[in-house]
Each structure stands twice: as C-alpha cells, then as structure tokens.
Structure 1
Amino acid sequence: MFGSTILDVLLAVVFTFLGVSLAASAVTEAIASMLRLRQSTLLDGISRLLNDPDFDGLARDVYDHALVDPLACVRTRQASLTNRPAFIHPRDFAVALTDVLRDRHPGGPGGADLAGCIATVPDDKLRGALQTLLRQADGDRLLFQAALATWFDGSMIRLSGWYRRRTQMISFLAAFAIAAMLNADVLHVTAEVWQRPAMVNLLNAGLSHDTITLQNALARLDASSLIGWDGWSGDPRDGWPGVLTMLSGWGIAAAASLFGAPFWFDTLQRLSWIRGAVPVAARADGLPYGSLALPHAKLSPGSE
C-alpha cells in the first residue's frame, strides 16, 4: 500500500521529531528545576485549595506541619519558604490539615470535636467543603482523613494539568531554539528524503564515468545535509522565501515536540515494523530500488 520512499520520509520526519523532543524535554526539566516550578506550582495549588492566597492562614500552617516539611519553622511570609516540597503525599496532607484544624480551635488541641474545629474556618467555601466531607464520613476521624486525602488527590490531578500548561510554552521555546541550533528543518528533511531515490537513479543512469560530478553528487547525498548547518552558504533556501520556509520547518518540529518523546518513540517503532514488512522492489540490474551502482573507477587519488 505504501511505497518505500513514503515510509522513509515518515521515518526521517518522526526521527527528527523524536530527537528534538528528547532534547527539549531535558532542557525544560533543567529550567523547571532551576526555577523550582514544581514547588511553586504546588504551593499555589494548596493556597488556592485552602482559599489562602496571602499565605497567612491554613496554607501556611499546613506547610509548617512536620509531615509536610520536617524542617518547618514558624513562617509569616511565603517568600521565607526556603525548602518548598515538590510533592506532598495525600495522607500526610490529610493528617496535617486535621491537626491544624484542631490546633487553631480556641479550646486548644483536642479542645473540640472535628465539627467544632471546622466551624471555626473563616472561609465559607472551604468550611462548606470540609463539612460536606465530614458528613460523608459520619463524623469518623479516620474516614474524614481518607476523604481529605481523596479530595487533595483530585485537586493535584487538576494541578498537574495546570503545571503542564505552564511548562508548555517553555517546552515550545526550548524545542524551537534546539531546532534552530541544529537546523532541524522538517520541511527540508522531507524534501531531501523524498528526492533522494530519484537522484540515485539519475546518478546510475548518467554519471557512471564522470568521477568529479559523482563525487559532488555523493556529497549531496550525505546524511549530514539533512540536519545541520553544513554547506549553508550555498543552500537554496537563501533569501526571504527560503528563510520563512526554514522558520516554518523549525516551528513544526517545535510544535510536534509538545506530544512528548514517548509518543514519537512509539510512532517510530510502529513505522519501523511497517518498513520491515514492505517488500523492496528490484531494478532491472537486480539491485534494490534506490541503491547506487558505483562505477569501477577511483573516486580520488589513492583510493581503492
């Protein structure tokens, strides 16, 4: 159903996407670690979950809990958090929030039941959510903590989507920069791989005894001309139309990297299986289609 040239083009394009995606993932992870994006996103998410945008209420007290941060000390400002956790287990969050609710009650720790502790929460929406979870647990503390853990876990799933949206722009910009550095122009790769079988046939047909031209043609067929800046000074993409096409090729590679390296790795595997199952047509001289029959002549002085 598919010709070998079509599959070769698809393999080359997917391989380009895979390489750019792997490099962009590494750069994005390095930037996220340097800027502590996971820690900041988790803190913002918990502040929103507990309706404490100023970080001076429940969110601050939860972060001060020993289960959340073993190095915790009493902090008054968000900026004073020097060891922000990048992950909080739902069970630890539930226990910490329960302890904080009891400690904040006017009667002191254990001074009232959970219903009385929740009733002191100043925020109406948060108080209503906690009261709903307590009713579903029939007032049982362990069941209430389990419900809190499930509630927190669901919020973290939404927070993960929020984090991905925050890092998508970083990933795209990193992929675009990598494509520019490597000159990974997908449109150029597609055109080159598509035209190579025809170029090989022309070489076999008319350049059998022209050694100098054959050397130039072999250099043109070199794989390094697909990706990279080799020979850029004589590239036919010079000029504004060519530059715009090149920028478009970089943009396509950067946009495709947002699917992630695992997606393109699986796609490359499937295409490789299909490519291995496609029979290769033979030419009249018995060689596989697309292969180059080199003349029996020396390509350069001293070569055998």
Structure 2
Amino acid sequence: MLSAYLDLALGLVLAFLLLSLLVSGLNEAIVRLLAIRSKFLWAYLRDTLDDDAPKGRSWLPSGARDVFAALPFARDPRPAHETRPAPPEPAADDGLTQSLYERVREIDHPTRGRTSIADLPPGRFSGAVMELAATEPGGVEGLLAKLKDAGSPLHGHLKGVWETAQRDLDRFRKGVETWFDGEMQRLSLLYKRYVRWVVAMLALAVTLLFTVDALEYGKTLLRDNAYRATVTAVTGPEAYGELKARCEQADPVPCITDTLSQPALLGILDKAIISVSVPAEGEPVFHWNGAAWWDRLTTPSRWPGFLLTFVALLFGAPFWWDVLRRITGARSRS
C-alpha cells in the first residue's frame, strides 16, 4: 500500500512539473517576443540617467499591468541598435542613455531596430561611466557637473560614491560597480514581482484550458494500477517489471509497447478543449472537445480540483523538479 501512495505522489509531482514547465515556457515566450527584460532594463536606465520620460512620466512601469501593456506597445525605451564602435566623443545632442549604450553596445546581439541588451554587468557599467568621465573636461567632476545641469537622478548617486571614494578613481570605479550591482538586484526583485502576476494568469489559463482536476487525477492514480504503472514508468527501470507482471504474457514486449504508445501523462491533458492522442504508428491526432470541456469547466464539483492544480502551478517548475529529485533519489550534476 505504501508503494501505491509513493506512486501517487510521483504521478502528481510529474503532472505538476509538466504543467509548470508549460507555464514557464509560455511566460518565457511572451517575454522574449515582447523583449520585456530588455525594455525593463533600459526604462530603468533612462529614468536614472536622463529622466527624459515623455510628459514627465517614468519610463518604468508603475504596475504589473503596465509591464505587459504600456511597456511593450506604447513606449520603447531602448536605444536604436548600432554595430559601429563608440565615437571618441559623445554627440552634443546625445543623452546620457545613448552615450552609455555607445560604450556597452559591443555586447549587443545582432538584431534589427532596437538593442537586445537585457543584462548589463556591473563591471561593464562602471567601465562605461569611467569612459564617459574621461570625455568630460575635469574628469569625474566634469561628469558630475553635467549630470547636475541635466537634472539627472544619477548625479546624487555618483556624487555620494565619489565623496565616499575620497576622489580616488580606482575606488570610485569599484564603488560605482557595487552600487550598480545593488540596483540590478533591486530591479530584478521588482521585475519578478511584476512577472509573478503574469505567471499566475498563465497558470490559471493552463488549468482552465486543460481542465486539469488534480483530485480526479489523484483518484485515478490510486484506483487504476495499470495507469499508475504507466505514469511511473518514466522514473526508473523498476516499472518494467510492473508492466511485465501486468501484461501476463510470455513475451511482454508487444504489451509494453502498446501501453507506452499511448503516453499515460497525455491522459492528464485528454480533457482539454483540444486533446491529442499518439497512435502506435503514424502522426499524433488532435481532437476538438469543446462540449465536454465546457461541461467539466462548469461543474462545481470539479472546482476544488482546479483550485488545487492552480495553487500547485504557482510553486513553479524548479520547486516540483526538486521534489521529483527527492522522491526518486536522483542527484543533480554538480
């Protein structure tokens, strides 16, 4: 009986892991398609360096809705992509954000239109600041004066670092690097807080579109030994013996092949609005289940199972992968 409960836990963890990976994949696809990370970084840089947001508004989104509304479509804070090396002197009409990009764009990826830089190493940022200071009369003091005249929020930060470094260039560079590293950590936390709401919406959409009832799935695993054996077949060679005993044939290979030709984990998704079956031979077959899907979705007795699935997906794929490793005893590569 203990083995049955262990298989139940394993089956649920596998289901939650696969669905969490689907949610993560959808989120990553949206983020990459809309270049959210890159726009988020350069929105922060424009706010910090130039404060040139239109009509006095911040470039950074003020809420989770703006991350996937105003930021991707209304305003693009990223500089135009450029492949040429930085000029010796910044142009007079260039803002500080553009001047900074000129000195970090060697890490940019080949692209069209706007820059794709989504991660700026602190050491590269401090090096770019030192290069900007070298182009100003008076060095760092001249750069600070320019920042003050431009009303840049960066002036206060760099002035504090400059005074703390006691006007030592090497200590100033390291101070800028440390400060920017702290800012990137803060920005990452802010980004994750916004994206968390998007992940929650995607988890809800996956749960409802596939109508995954975790309680129903758990009952099926407990009651159907054959189904449970097929689900746990992906975890180790022990399952082969279980399938061999279940088939009760002199040659169990045809039975095992037939069983695994219909992947049991696809049974989790067979109640989706569009389901898929994998025949022993030929291409996968898709089925429209609109009527059955709507009937499941509007059945109140299934809502607790939907809620359990939704909450489980909020934990994310890394959590369920770690749980799976612990159950199976697998060790991650160091």
Q: TM-score range by the shorter chain?
A: 0.5 to 0.7
What's the counterpart of residue 99 of structure 2? 61
2:284 pairs with 1:228: no
In structure 2, the residue matched to 1:119 is 145
Structure number with greater Rg is 1
CA–CA distance in structure 1, aligned partners of residues 194 and 301 of structure 2: 29
Matched to 2:39, the amino acid is S
Match of 2:114 among 82, 92, 97: 82
| Residues in 2 aligned to 1:246 and 1:12: alpha-carbon distance in whole angstroms | 19
Task: Provide the TM-score with structure 2 as the length reference.
Answer: 0.58
Partner of 2:127 in structure 1? Answer: 95
Counterpart in the other structure of 2:215: 187
TM-score by length of 1: 0.63
- Using a 3 Å threshold, how does the CA distance of structure 1 residues 245 and 90 change in structure 2: closer, same or farther? farther
Who is 1:23 aligned against?
Answer: 22
Match of 2:178 in 1: 150
1:256 to 289, 312, 318: 312
SS of residue paired to 1:66: helix
Task: For residues 8-54 of structure 1, give each alpha carbon's deviation from its aligned partner in whole angstroms, at most 9, with x where no partner exists.
Answer: 33222211110111111111111111000111111122233336252
- RMSD over aligned Cα, in angstroms? 3.7
Contact (CA 8 Å) 1:52, 1:59: kept in 2 or not?
no
Is residue 173 of structure 1 aligned with residue 201 of structure 2?
A: yes
Q: Secondary structure at the match of 1:32?
A: helix
Q: List per-residue Cα deviations over 1:206-262 (Å, max 9, x = no partner).
A: xxxxxxxxxxxxxxxx956554228x8998x9578x623435434433443333222
Q: Give structure 1 stretches of 5+ with no counterpart.
A: 72-79, 104-108, 201-221, 275-304
Task: Give the secondary structure class of the aligned counterpart of 1:121.
Answer: helix
Q: Which gives a bigger RCO, structure 1 or 2 (Cα 8 Å, sep 6+)?
A: 1
Residue of structure 2 equivalent to 1:159: 187
Structure 1 residues 62 and 234: alpha-carbon distance in aligned structure 2, compared to 1, 3 A threshold: closer
Q: Does 1:35 align with 2:71?
A: no
In the alignment, the residues of structure 1 paired with residue 132 and residue 36 of structure 2 have an alpha-carbon distance, to the nearest angstrom, of 26
Contact 2:50/2:152, CA 8 A, preserved across alignment:
no
1:62·1:96 contact (CA, 8 Å) conserved in 2? yes
User: What's the counterpart of residue 271 of structure 1?
Assistant: 327
Distance 2:220 2:328 in 1: 20
Identical aligned residues as a percent: 27
Provide the secondary structure at the position in 1 that maps to 2:51.
coil
Pair 239,173 (structure 1): closer, same or farther in 2 beyond 3 Å: closer
1 CA distance for matches of 2:106 and 2:113? 10
| 1:170-228 deviation line (CA, Å, top 9, x unaligned) | 3233333333444322122123234447xx9xxxxxxxxxxxxxxxxxxxxx9565542
Match of 1:67, SS state, is helix
Measured in 2, the distance between the counterparts of 1:239 and 1:66 equals 57
Count of residues in correspondence between the two structures: 234
Structure 1 counterpart of 2:299: 243
Question: Could you say if the C-alpha distance between residues 238 and 183 of structure 1 is closer, same or farther in structure 2, counting changes exceeding 3 Å?
Answer: closer
The CA distance in 1 between the partners of 2:152 and 2:41, in whole Å, is 23
Moved more, 25-34 or 129-138: 129-138
